[in-house]
């Protein structure tokens, strides 16, 4: 963080259900949390709290309980009130965004003023022959599931993230067989439409998913950034500074850089507070 001039970072939890475990993540997750059955529990809230207490001015804690837990919304509330959690995330589960159990978490997050960081990886991709191929490591469902969640929770701010989200920058997303599309950006991408039509949707620029999407067409990327500068958040989700280098190469106005690098995140993750009417069940 010091090397790249980053003052504060969001630390996000990731609760992995045994049936959602993917061994490809085991090499980068804390081995302390490997279960006796060989599956990994993910990134627990306790690890993030420990890091925050070591460096309270550098780390902001995020947390999202697994929606299948019968008391998930109560767990989120407890984390807010006891540990000062200010972000609901990372939401990364093998459930559609608009599942009622997910919507309940989203509504509680909105009630307390927490943004929700969503990981979207689509369940199907078309191969070169146009046949649908099931993707076992899917999260969230489809863009249609996302839209229904946005409409069902208008008081909740959502931050889109991951390959399934950023592929929608191009109009040919539905037919591209790659998990990380890198061809020329085609007109009428759904991502711009989603950001235009839903004021509660933001976009996280972290990881290879956003970087690849931006590098597909640098002219389009700069125009996209200028148009939605108040809805984009700089992030890394990995080590290195390639995203920062790419963003700086666009020679963006100072106001735009400030929005992306800090202001939007600071606004979304302001200290938690109750907003509006309590969700049903309170």
Residue with tokens 């996302």: 146
- Encode the chain (282 residues) as per-residue pLDDT tens digits: 999 999 999 999 999 999 999 999 999 999 999 999 999 999 999 999 999 999 999 999 999 999 999 999 999 999 999 999 999 999 999 999 999 999 999 999 999 999 999 999 999 999 999 999 999 999 999 999 999 999 999 999 999 999 999 999 999 999 999 999 999 999 999 999 999 999 999 999 999 999 999 999 999 999 999 999 999 999 999 888 999 999 999 999 999 999 999 999 999 998 766 554 445 443
**Domain 9-268 belongs to what architecture?**
Alpha-Beta Barrel (3.20)
| Tokens describing residue 181 | 């599309």
Q: What is the DSSP string of 84-144?
A: ---BEEEE--SSBTTSHHHHHHHHHHHHTT--EEEE-B-SEEE-TTS-EEE-TT-BB--HH
Asked whether the beta carbons of 45 and 69 are under 8 A apart, the reply is no
The values of phi and psi at residue 203, to 5°, are: -135, 130
Asked whether the beta carbons of 156 and 162 are under 8 A apart, the reply is no
Give the per-residue pLDDT at 170: 98
User: How far apart, in whole angstroms, are the C-alpha atoms of residue 43 and residue 25?
Assistant: 11
User: How far apart, in whole angstroms, are the C-alpha atoms of residue 68 and residue 130?
Assistant: 34
For the chain, domain boundaries: 9-268
| Tokens describing residue 130 | 């146009």
- Find, among 17, 200, 205, the residue nearest to 107 by Cα: 200
- The average confidence (pLDDT) of the chain is 95
For 230-275, give the secondary structure using H, E and C.
HHEECCCCCCCCHHHHHHHHCCCCHHHHHHHHHHHHHHHCCCCCCC
């Amino acid at each position: 963080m010091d090397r790249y001039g980053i003052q504060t970072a969001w630390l996000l939890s990731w609760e992995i259900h045994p049936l959602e475990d993917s061994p490809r993540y085991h090499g980068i997750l804390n081995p302390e949390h490997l279960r006796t059955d060989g599956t990994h529990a993910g990134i627990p809230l306790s690890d993030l709290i420990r890091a925050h207490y070591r460096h309270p001015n550098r780390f902001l804690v995020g947390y999202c309980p697994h929606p299948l837990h019968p008391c998930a919304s109560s767990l989120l509330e407890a984390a807010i009130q006891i540990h000062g959690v200010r972000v609901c995330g990372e939401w990364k589960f093998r459930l559609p965004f608009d599942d009622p159990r997910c919507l309940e978490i989203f509504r509680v997050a909105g009630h307390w003023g927490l943004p929700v960081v969503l990981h979207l990886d689509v369940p199907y991709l078309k191969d070169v022959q146009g046949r649908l191929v099931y993707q076992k490591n899917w999260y969230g469902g489809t863009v249609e599931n996302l839209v229904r969640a946005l409409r069902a929770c208008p008081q909740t701010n959502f931050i889109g993230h991951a390959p399934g989200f950023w592929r929608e920058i191009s109009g040919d997303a539905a037919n591209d067989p790659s998990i990380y599309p890198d061809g020329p950006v085609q007109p009428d991408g759904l991502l711009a439409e989603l950001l235009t039509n839903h004021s509660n949707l933001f976009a996280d620029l972290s990881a290879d998913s956003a970087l690849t999407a931006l590098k597909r067409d640098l002219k389009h990327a700069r125009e996209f950034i200028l148009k939605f500068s108040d809805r984009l958040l700089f992030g890394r989700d990995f080590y290195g500074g390639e995203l920062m280098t790419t963003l700086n190469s666009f020679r963006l106005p100072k106001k735009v850089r400030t929005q992306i690098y800090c202001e939007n995140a600071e606004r979304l993750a302001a200290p938690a507070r109750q907003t509006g009417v309590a969700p049903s069940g309170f």
